[in-house]
Structure 1
Amino acid sequence: MKLSAFADVCLRTVMVLGAPGAGQLTSREIADLVSVPYNHVTKAVLELRTLGVLDVVRGRNGGASITQTGLQTSVGALLRTLDKREDVVDCTDHDANGNCPLAGGCRLRGALRAAREAFYAALDPLTIQEICETSPAITLLPFPTVRRSA
Structure 2
Amino acid sequence: MKLSAFADVCLRTVMVLGAPGVGQLTSREISELVGVPYNHVAKAVVELRTLGLLEVTRGRHGGAQITERGLAYSVGTLLRSLDWREDVVDCTTHDAVGNCPLSAGCRLRSALKSAREAFYASLDSLTVTDICENSPAITLLPFPTVRHNA
Same fold (TM over 0.5): yes
Aligned twin of 1:52: 52
Aligned twin of 1:112: 112
Q: What SS does the aligned partner of 2:87 have?
A: coil
Given that 1:31 and 1:38 are in contact with CA atoms closer than 8 Å, whether structure 2 keeps it comes out as yes
Structure 2 residue identity aligned to 1:53? L
Q: What SS does the aligned partner of 2:71 have?
A: helix
Aligned twin of 2:5: 5
Superposition deviation, residue 94 in structure 1: 4.4
TM-score, L = length of structure 2: 0.97
Q: Structure 1: which 4+ aligned runs deviate by more than 2 Å? A: 93-97
Superposition deviation, residue 134 in structure 1: 3.5
Counterpart mapping for 1:78-89 below 5 A: 78-89=78-89
Query: Unpaired runs of 5+ in structure 1?
Result: none
Query: Unpaired runs of 5+ in structure 2?
Result: none
What is the CA–CA distance in structure 1 between the aligned matches of 2:80 and 2:99, rounded to whole Å? 26
TM-score, L = length of structure 1: 0.97
Superposition deviation, residue 17 in structure 1: 0.1
Superposition deviation, residue 97 in structure 1: 4.7
Structure 2 residue identity aligned to 1:87? D
Q: How many residues align structurally?
A: 150
What is the CA–CA distance in structure 1 between the aligned matches of 2:71 and 2:85, rounded to whole Å? 25
Q: What SS does the aligned partner of 1:14 have?
A: helix
CA RMSD of aligned residues (A): 1.1
Q: 1:101 to 1:94 in 2, by over 3 A?
A: farther
Q: 1:87 to 1:96 in 2, by over 3 A?
A: closer
